[in-house]
């Protein structure tokens, strides 16, 4: 199992857990933020919950408050790397 989350995986999780369809390329765009895609902290909480269920540990505190996809991926991937998931 890879120990990082990619933009395409994040887009799939957002669709599954927040009900919002987002193109992974748009998530990668510098300066993009979750607000422009209609993804709020509750939607991100669903994504975090799914990641925690998959990996069996608390992914990271504050990820659901991330403002940008890049910030979210940095927080989550740092957590996954440290845990050796």
pLDDT tens digit string along 31-66?
A: 899 999 999 989 998 998 998 898 887 777 778 788
Q: What is the pLDDT of residue 2?
A: 59
Whether the predicted pLDDT of 1 surpasses 60: no
Q: What is d(CA 49, CA 15) in angstroms, rounded to the nearest whole number?
A: 14
Confidence bin at 18 (pLDDT 50/70/90): very high
Architecture of domain 7-83: Orthogonal Bundle (1.10)
Which of 21, 28, 36, 32 lies closest to 6 in space, CA to CA? 28
Average pLDDT over residues 65-74: 91
Higher pLDDT, 49 or 82: 49
């Amino acid at each position: 199992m890879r120990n990082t989350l990619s933009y395409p995986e994040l887009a799939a999780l957002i669709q599954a857990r927040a009900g919002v369809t987002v193109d992974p390329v748009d998530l990668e765009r510098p300066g993009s933020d979750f607000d422009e895609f209609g993804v709020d902290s509750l939607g991100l909480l669903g994504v975090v919950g799914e990641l925690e269920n998959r990996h069996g540990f608390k992914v990271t505190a504050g990820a659901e408050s991330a403002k940008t996809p890049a910030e979210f991926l940095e927080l989550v991937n740092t957590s996954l790397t440290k845990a050796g998931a």
